[in-house]
Amino acid sequence: MSKLFTARRLSLPVAIALSALIGACSLFSTRATPDKPLVTITGGKIAVEPEPLVFKVGGGPVDIVWRTDGKTLFAAENGIVIDGEVAVKDGPIINPRQDEIVNCRASQDRTTFTCTNKRSRKGLFKYTVRLVQDGKPLPAHDPGIMNLE
């Protein structure tokens, strides 16, 4: 049997196995997206990926589901709070009564927190993330959400 024939015969099972492995990995992906941001702790500080969360206006409402690693929990009542609308990143709040990011709530196990972004108009919104690790609150983090046209 030639070496070429043996290599081809082995390459098909290897290709099938690699395809299955890659497919299985994608099922368990922790890839962060604007509608499924990942909240982590780095050096004792809260980090959100991606930051800021950027959405295109239109297309109807979308739920944003922030996720932790499962060991760190969102604060029960105020794990995610939409502080209001700002004119520029890190600027002062110009509209604390914004109605674009609404209906924020924690999951029962507090490993996820969900808010609905109406995506009905452009704007920049500041929010606060509060987590608890080993029963102790961590310093809050204030990232942003952008709705762009």
pLDDT tens across 4-30, in order? 444 444 444 443 443 443 333 333 456
Token pair recorded at residue 145 = 């959400």
Token pair recorded at residue 112 = 């996820």
Residues contacting 35, CB < 8 A, separation 6+: 53, 55, 62, 63, 64, 65
Report the candidate in 57, 38, 1, 70 with the shortest Cα–Cα distance to residue 141: 38
Q: Is 3 helix (H, G, I), strand (E, B) or coil?
A: helix
**43: pLDDT confidence band, cut at 50, 70 and 90?**
confident
- Report the share of the chain in percent with pLDDT over 70: 80
pLDDT at 1: 52
pLDDT at 2: 52
* Side chain identity at residue 92, one-letter code: P
Q: Average the pLDDT over 49-56 and give the result.
A: 97
DSSP output for 69-99: -SSSEE-TTTSEEEEEEESSTT--EEETT--
Predicted TM-score (pTM) of the model is 0.79
* pLDDT of 69 higher than 80: yes
Architecture of domain 38-148 in this structure: Sandwich (2.60)
Torsion angle of C-alpha atoms 123, 106, 34, 128, degrees rounded to 10: 50
Which value, in Å, is the radius of gyration of the alpha carbons in the chain? 21
Where do the domains of the chain lie? 1-30, 38-148
